[in-house]
Chain A
Amino acid sequence: NAGVTQTPKFQVLKTGQSMTLQCAQDMNHNSMYWYRQDPGMGLRLIYYSASEGTTDKGEVPNGYNVSRLNKREFSLRLESAAPSQTSVYFCASSEMLGTEAFFGQGTRLTVV
């Protein structure tokens, strides 16, 4: 019973490099989310997908793109990484919008 699986767990990027964070859930949830957690800031929503085929911006979408590949998978792409994107990224899923979410273990990303 894996729940929400994120890869990679750790990543170091140079400024300007690109990368994709992968997320998959096995709970047949409709909604999926990407959050970032920064010291003193709590969790902030980057993008979400209410259901397969839809994506919407959250609170802090600039510098990111997402793809809801299918019902299980939701990826987050950084096209040109910046030091301000150094953070811990969490993927989450829920049965539908507005219900409790299940989180992955997080990806610690450092941009140098």
Chain B
Amino acid sequence: DQQVKQNSPSLSVQEGRISILNCDYTNSMFDYFLWYKKYPAEGPTFLISISSIKDKNEDGRFTVFLNKSAKHLSLHIVPSQPGDSAVYFCAAYTPNTGNQFYFGTGTSLTVIP
């Protein structure tokens, strides 16, 4: 039973435009969310996080939005660059469910020059 879902397996965006990656979750007890970026043949690398007490967190070109009532978070990348082409995973955590992060299935982003 997938508790964290990324319903778009892939996304293509023109360089310079905004990329919006979406993530939905089912467990209302999740209170900490992360985004990871993964290049082929490498491990995931941490990108940005958000706590459930916030609805927005910004780090340079990356902004994560959290809508707790909809159990939805999104990652905005502005402006998108070709080097952003990678697979993006969202992950959610609560200490109340096995002390683990639950990962989505990933969205493959391609930024077209």
Chain A contacts to B: CB under 8 angstroms: 4, 33, 35, 40-45, 48, 50, 56, 58-59, 90, 92, 97-98, 100-106
28 of the cross-chain contacts (CB-CB < 8 Å) are: A33-B100, A40-B105, A41-B105, A42-B4, A42-B103, A42-B104, A42-B106, A43-B89, A43-B91, A43-B103, A44-B103, A48-B100, A50-B99, A56-B99, A58-B98, A58-B100, A90-B43, A90-B44, A97-B99, A98-B95, A98-B99, A100-B34, A101-B46, A102-B46, A103-B44, A103-B45, A104-B43, A106-B41
Chain B residues with CB below 8 A from A42, complex form: 2, 4, 6, 89, 103-106
B95 to chain A, nearest CB (A): 6
In the complex the two chains form, is B42's CB within 8 Å of A106's CB? yes
Residue of A nearest to B9 (CB): A40
A40 to chain B, nearest CB (A): 6
B56 to chain A, nearest CB (A): 18
Which 9 residue pairs spanning A and B have beta carbons closest together? Answer: A103-B43, A42-B103, A43-B103, A100-B46, A42-B105, A45-B100, A103-B44, A97-B99, A105-B43
Compute the total of residue contacts between A and B using a CB distance below 8 Å: 56
Having A42-B105, A48-B100, A97-B99, one finds 6 other A-B pairs with CB under 8 Å, namely A42-B2, A42-B103, A43-B103, A45-B98, A98-B99, A105-B43
Q: Complex formed: what's the CA distance from A101 to B49 in Å?
A: 11
Chain A residues with CB below 8 A from B101, complex form: 45, 101
Chain B contacts to A: CB under 8 angstroms: 2, 4, 6, 32, 34, 36, 41-46, 49, 89, 91, 93, 95, 98-101, 103-106
